Amino acid sequence: MKIQQNKSFFMGNTPFQKQEMTVQDRIAQKKQLYQKKAMRMVTTANKAEKAVDTNIEDIKGKIKRLQADNEEANAFLNDYKQQMAQTKEYYNVADDSQEQKDLELLQKAYDIQAHGSTELLTEEEQERLDNMGELTEYQQISMDLYKAADYWKTQLETNNQIISGEAGAIRSIQLERLKTHGMVDAEKAKESILAAASKEIEGMLIDDAREKLDEKAEEVKEAADKREEKKEEEEARIEAAKEDKKEKEELIEDIRENVTELTEQAVDSSEIMEDVNDQIKKIMQEQKLLEEDLKGLSVNVTT
pLDDT at 12 over 50: no
**The predicted structure's pLDDT at residue 8:** 44
Predicted pLDDT of residue 43: 82
Q: What sign does the dihedral 274-276-277-281 (CA atoms) show?
A: positive
How far is residue 262 from each of residues 257, 266, 284, measured CA to CA in Å?
A: 9, 6, 20
- For the segment 92-121, the average pLDDT, to the nearest whole number, is 91
pTM over 0.75: no
Q: How far apart are CA 86 and CA 105, in angstroms?
A: 20
**pLDDT value of position 292:** 67
Spell out the residues 6+ positions from residue 156 whose beta carbon is closer than 8 angstroms to its own: 70, 73, 74, 77
- Tell me the CB-side half-sphere exposure of residue 22, using CA atoms within 13 A: 3
Q: Which amino acid is at 48?
A: A
Rounded Cα gap, residues 203 and 17, in angstroms: 28
- Minimum mean pLDDT among 95-104, 169-178, 186-195: which range? 186-195
Q: Could you read off the pLDDT of 36-92 as tens digits, one per residue? A: 887 787 788 788 888 989 999 999 999 999 999 999 999 999 999 999 999 999 999
* Predicted confidence (pLDDT) per residue in 145-167, tens digit: 999 999 999 999 999 999 999 99
CA angle 25, 29, 31 (to 5 degrees): 115
The mean predicted confidence, pLDDT, of the chain is 80
Q: Which of 3-12, 21-30, 219-228 has the weakest average pLDDT?
A: 3-12
d(CA 237, CA 247): 15
First to last CA, the chain: 73
Under 8 Å CB-to-CB from 21, ≥6 apart: which residues? 29
pLDDT at 260: 65
pLDDT at 14: 46
Q: Is the pLDDT of residue 140 over 50?
A: yes
Q: What pLDDT is stored for residue 224 in this prediction? A: 76
Amino acid 185: pLDDT:
67
C-beta separation of 234 from 227 below 8 A: no
125 versus 34: which is more confidently predicted?
125
Distance from C-alpha of 196 to C-alpha of 14, rounded to nearest angstrom: 33
Question: CA–CA separation, 179 vs 246, rounded Å?
Answer: 100
Which amino acid, one-letter code, is at 146?
Answer: Y
Q: pLDDT category, 198, cuts 50, 70, 90?
A: confident
Task: Return the percentage of the chain with pLDDT > 90, whole number.
Answer: 37
Q: What is the pLDDT confidence band of residue 144, given thresholds at 50, 70 and 90?
A: very high
Which amino acid is it at 169?
Answer: A
Report yes or no: 239 and 294 within 8 Å, Cβ to Cβ: no
Domain extents in the chain:
23-180, 226-302
Q: Is the pLDDT of residue 11 over 70?
A: no
pLDDT at position 55, please?
94
Yes or no: say if 141 and 87 are a contact pair by the CB < 8 Å rule. Answer: yes
**Residues making up the chain, counted from first to last:** 303
- What is the amino acid identity at position 39? M
d(CA 162, CA 160): 5
Please name which of 107, 106, 96 lies closest in space to residue 134, comparing C-alpha atoms.
106
Other beta carbons within 10 angstroms of residue 255's beta carbon come to 15
Q: When comparing pLDDT for 221 and 288, which is higher? A: 221
